[in-house]
Copies of this chain bind each other. A is one copy, B any other.
């Protein structure tokens, strides 16, 4: 029996467009003789729909669209479609009003409905906010040459293998229940967001469960960027022995067909797309997809980026070029009297390498204008943070003026290290509709640029992404001087990041311990860091919360990003206590 995984890229709330995608995949699959088509979790509305779920008319539209879709599908195949269903007992028995469900559509109608049992409520996930957990084990039987019993799980349902994790996350374990029922294989319909190394983790876990329960698993994931979240796809199948029998492409829509052998009761190996070669490649592809989909799904064709000649804006410009094409990226240089010659030279060289248009708009006159306007009020004060921020905010205002005038999307260029310690200006360089590298630590910004250059220079390959290739020239993509010069905000003469911050390798290690491992000051110091530096960094991180709260959505590429999954009070005295305890 043939099955197919439709690795789809839905747009949130676009029910008709998403149904159309499902229909197209089903039509292709039917023409290949497929009997069962899998689509991702909540494939009808896209994941995550968030507070759209609170609108009754949204829930009703989902139901109407599902019924309509069922009638349009080819009659020869069954399709699992992710949708919402109302919880009929909520009023009487208590509980949330909806289930996160999969509908089995066949022969023009809804044959069965299965409810997600484990509801992630951590990090970026809020499923307990909307959904009631399903209480029953989910399976159905398809008749091919023989009856084939298929277990149905939805995303998190498979993430509770206590043997794999060394602990239980939820009280129940759906795959154990299915194993006891003796299903032929388990399907998992997911919308599992990307973070670095996530696919390795997923595959290790799925492989472990397949082997442990002697149960083949077919895993269908969503692909595409939805605001801050990037879904990587990488749908995958494992046979009873825990061997990968298929893998869909990373960061692209795909349709993968696999064969279930009714004799051996196992999957037959099929197209297995190789995993990506390096962390840098993974992150690069994630960011390119994130920028492209945010622009596309918000209705923007072109983006504008402030080019400082520094490494952050250079990387963002390269990502945008790969995402949207060089003709759709506009770089703006805004030199001040504090800008060094190399800043302009480096930015122009980068733009030339990328083939993007630039405009140069000096800000000196506006700086003088602000000085004069504030002359009386600021009389007898020293040049300081206020004046530095004015420059950044002049640039922010100019970039937004260009974005507003021509209908461009402004991409902000701050990295995660800066966002963490607040080394950025709110309403200045933080301006933008999307913060492309806000979850990329500075040390990773360097390694991404080096990887990009290693791919782009004379390899004959360039850095390819779908229809577009950058690089593939005898020159590097990111000019060497940008990679080698000392980072500087250039907001006053001879200013360098390292005057205010520890070296980035040290800073990033402290931040990683704090943000990803929830380490205390004491633990970070025990990890080998200078107590004075640790205390300073922790204080900076706490004090910058008000800036992060007002930042644009940032593409998430790690397991803990500032954004929807970071929920920290602003008026908060905890940092002080942490510091006291470390003394």
Chain A residues within 8 Å of B, Cβ to Cβ: 11-17, 48-52, 54-58, 61, 90-95, 121-122, 126, 128-129, 160, 162, 167-172, 225-227, 293-294, 297-298, 359, 361-363, 365-366, 369-370, 372-374, 377-378, 381, 384-387, 389-390, 393-394, 396-398, 400-402, 404-405, 426-427, 431, 433, 518-520, 522-523, 546, 549-553, 564, 566-578, 581
Contact = CB atoms under 8 A, between A and B. Distances in A.
B572 A13 contact: yes
Pick the 6 closest A-B CB pairs, nearest first. A13-B574, A57-B520, A94-B168, A297-B571, A14-B573, A128-B128
A405 B386 contact: yes
B386 A373 contact: no
Contacts of A128: 121, 128-129
11 contacts: A13-B572, A50-B567, A55-B518, A91-B167, A94-B162, A95-B170, A122-B129, A227-B571, A366-B373, A369-B369, A550-B551
B520 A56 contact: yes
A119 to B, nearest CB: 8
A80 B419 CA distance: 40
Contacts of A571: 11-12, 225-227, 293-294, 297-298
Contact of A389 (B226, B293, B394, B400): B400
A385 B402 contact: no
B402 A377 contact: yes
A388 to B, nearest CB: 9
Contact of A57 (B94, B168, B172, B578): B578
B404 A386 contact: yes
Given A50-B569, A121-B128, A167-B91, A61 B577 contact: yes
A311 to B, nearest CB: 24
Contact of A370 (B171, B373, B389, B401): B401
A34 B141 CA distance: 67
Contacts of A122: 129
B569 A49 contact: yes
A381 to B, nearest CB: 6
A387 B324 CA distance: 27
Given A95-B171, A370-B401, A572 B52 contact: yes
Given A546-B433, A571-B297, A581 B57 contact: yes
Q: Which of A387, A400, A564 has the most CB of B within 10 A?
A: A400
Given A52-B569, A568-B50, A573-B13, A374 B361 contact: yes
A569 B13 contact: yes
A576 B13 CA distance: 9
A167 B160 CA distance: 33
A93 B170 CA distance: 7
A12 B386 contact: no
Contact of A564 (B58, B402, B546, B567): B567
Contacts of A401: 370, 374, 378, 386-387, 389-390
Contacts of A52: 568-569, 572, 574
Contacts of A393: 393, 396-397, 400, 427
A377 to B, nearest CB: 6
Contact of A94 (B15, B160, B433): B160
A427 B431 contact: yes
Contacts of A372: 365
Nearest to A382: B405
B581 A12 contact: no
Given A12-B573, A385-B404, A569-B226, A369 B377 contact: no
